[in-house]
């Protein structure tokens, strides 16, 4: 069953423009409610979280209306990280979890992600069924069976207490000065509180959301602001989250950035040493650097590659029995602790390694030398398919032959934005630039 409405991470779009309209959110809520009430039973419930975007109010209300219209009881969490929704869906015995967020995107965008009763994101098949129900006639509940809505005041607190349990017992963060950049997003209260409660001296950045400044010159996709704060305050380390706090970037005391690949390398090596890396392998996407693959291979650790998207990483982890995976972009998935990427928990694991070893952040953030990698994005109109054009395919084939044996090329359509992503890796940087520029030129001409 195909999907047109859902992308790689739920439904995404510009707020108040299809599909991110109140009307569509109401339909999605009703369809999801009917999907999870197919057994006709009673006492069904759903938890809804959101980040700090202005449009979150509109979508939250519309989703609530749709869900209650099919008999679902709605529990409103307010602004909480995406991983908190996964955790609380299980903890509160809900049938469904919903997160309203467009992650690292600007405030004009928004999205709707669904979690099943096990706290994991829904499968492609489940999303396709819900999408089919949106396009059809949705059976509503009888008047006496309409659901209720209730605001949960301590959802964030429950999540914070859980997050602290993932930090090794007996360790504290006393003496560490930590810059935490919350991207003016969902973790703007939770992350600084957790770090302070574990003993750190906290320098908060991006903790004043106003509805339109989420991810604006801050967070995991704009680490310059946090880097400046690290240097200015003489901090030991910086932690940069994105708008819904499921991604993380780590900064050392000089402001140098470690991406998800470096963080995963550190954790994989440490977990393998401790005998806790299940399956003897790390799960990452095709975007992860060749340097990571070489680092793992030298230590006898396998690398399982998947399509881009943390959902596909998690699916492979679950099917293969692995417990560590993630993406170069900063999604770090540890199924021992969480059902999805959790930037705060990943940040705490890095801090635990600092506390355990006594090493500065700079001694931990560079686990391997990266193979030169170049990524360019080409924006296109949503109805066009430039990668299918013969002229583009010819250029891709020619450059793939040219770079063979020296590197690799990866070209794909983004699952969350109307972008063609052109990525290549090559030891020869001059060739790398030429290859990427030729392909980008061909795609731009086709667009």
Q: What is the pLDDT of residue 418?
A: 82
pLDDT tens, residue by residue, 42-55:
679 999 999 999 99
pLDDT at 337 over 70: yes
Q: Residue 103 catalytic?
A: yes
Average pLDDT over residues 296-321: 96
Burial of 210 (0-12, 13-18, 19+ CB in 10 A): exposed
Domains of the chain: 11-153 (3.40.120.10), 176-370 (3.40.120.10), 373-446 (3.30.310.50)
Neighbours of 442 (CB within 10 A): 23
Mean pLDDT along residues 198-214: 98
Q: Please tell me which residue in 55, 69, 103, 220 is annotated as part of the active site.
A: 103
Residue 28 above 70 pLDDT? yes
Tell me the average pLDDT of the chain. Answer: 94
User: How much is the pLDDT for 38?
Assistant: 67
240: CB partners within 8 A, 6+ apart: 181, 183, 218, 219, 220, 223, 226, 248, 249, 250, 251
Please state, in angstroms and as integers, the Cα–Cα distance from residue 213 to each residue in 105, 107, 198, 426, following that order: 11, 7, 28, 37
Can you point out the beta strands (E) in 101-214?
Answer: 109-115, 149-151, 177-181, 201-205
Per-residue pLDDT tens digits for 341-391: 999 999 999 999 999 999 999 999 999 999 999 999 998 876 567 888 899
The model carries a pTM of 0.91
Split at pLDDT 50, 70, 90, the class of 189 is very high
> What is the torsional sign of CA 289, 295, 297, 299?
negative
Pairing of strands 248-251, 237-241: antiparallel
For 257-281, write each residue's pLDDT tens digit. Answer: 999 999 999 999 999 999 999 999 9
Q: Is 75 helix (H, G, I), strand (E, B) or coil?
A: strand
25-39, 147-161, 191-205, 283-297 — which is least confidently predicted? 25-39
């Amino acid at each position: 069953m195909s999907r047109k409405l859902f992308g790689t991470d739920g439904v995404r779009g510009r707020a108040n423009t299809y599909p991110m309209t109140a009307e569509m959110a109401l339909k999605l809520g009703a369809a999801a409610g009917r999907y999870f009430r197919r057994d006709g039973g009673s006492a069904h419930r759903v938890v809804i979280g959101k980040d700090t975007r202005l449009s979150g109010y509109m979508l939250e209300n519309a989703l609530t209306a749709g869900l209650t219209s099919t008999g679902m009881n709605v529990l409103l969490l307010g602004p909480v990280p995406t991983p908190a929704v996964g955790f609380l869906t299980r903890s509160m015995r809900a049938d469904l979890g919903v997160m309203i967020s467009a992650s690292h995107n600007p405030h004009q965008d928004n999205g709707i992600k669904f979690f099943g009763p096990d706290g994991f994101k829904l499968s492609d098949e489940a999303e396709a069924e819900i999408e089919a129900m949106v396009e059809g006639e949705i059976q509503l509940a009888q008047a006496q069976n309409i659901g209720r809505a209730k605001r949960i005041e301590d959802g964030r607190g429950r999540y914070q207490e859980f997050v602290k349990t993932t930090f090794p017992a007996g360790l504290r963060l006393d003496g560490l000065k930590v810059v935490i950049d919350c991207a003016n997003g969902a973790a703007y209260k939770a992350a600084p509180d957790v770090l302070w409660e574990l003993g750190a001296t906290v320098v908060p950045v991006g903790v004043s959301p106003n509805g339109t400044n989420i991810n604006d010159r801050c967070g995991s996709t704009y680490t310059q602001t946090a880097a400046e704060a690290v240097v200015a305050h003489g901090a030991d380390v910086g932690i940069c989250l994105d708008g819904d706090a499921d991604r993380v970037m780590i900064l050392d005391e000089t402001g140098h950035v470690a991406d998800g690949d470096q963080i995963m390398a550190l954790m994989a090596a440490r977990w393998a040493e401790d005998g806790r890396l299940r399956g003897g392998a790390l799960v990452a996407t095709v975007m992860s650097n060749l340097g990571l693959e070489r680092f793992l291979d030298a230590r006898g650790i396998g690398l399982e590659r998947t399509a881009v998207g943390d959902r596909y990483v998690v699916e492979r982890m679950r099917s293969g029995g692995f417990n560590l995976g993630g993406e170069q972009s900063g999604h770090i998935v540890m199924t021992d602790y969480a059902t999805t990427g959790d930037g705060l928990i990943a940040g705490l694991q890095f801090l635990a390694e600092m506390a355990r070893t006594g090493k500065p952040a700079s001694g931990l953030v560079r686990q391997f030398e990266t193979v030169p990698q170049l990524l360019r994005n080409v924006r296109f109109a949503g109805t066009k398919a430039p990668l299918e054009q013969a002229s583009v395919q010819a250029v891709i084939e020619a450059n793939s032959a040219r770079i063979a044996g020296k590197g690799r090329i990866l070209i794909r359509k983004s699952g969350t934005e109307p972008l063609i992503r052109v990525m290549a890796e090559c030891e020869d940087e001059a060739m790398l630039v030429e290859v990427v520029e030729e392909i980008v030129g061909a795609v731009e001409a086709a667009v």
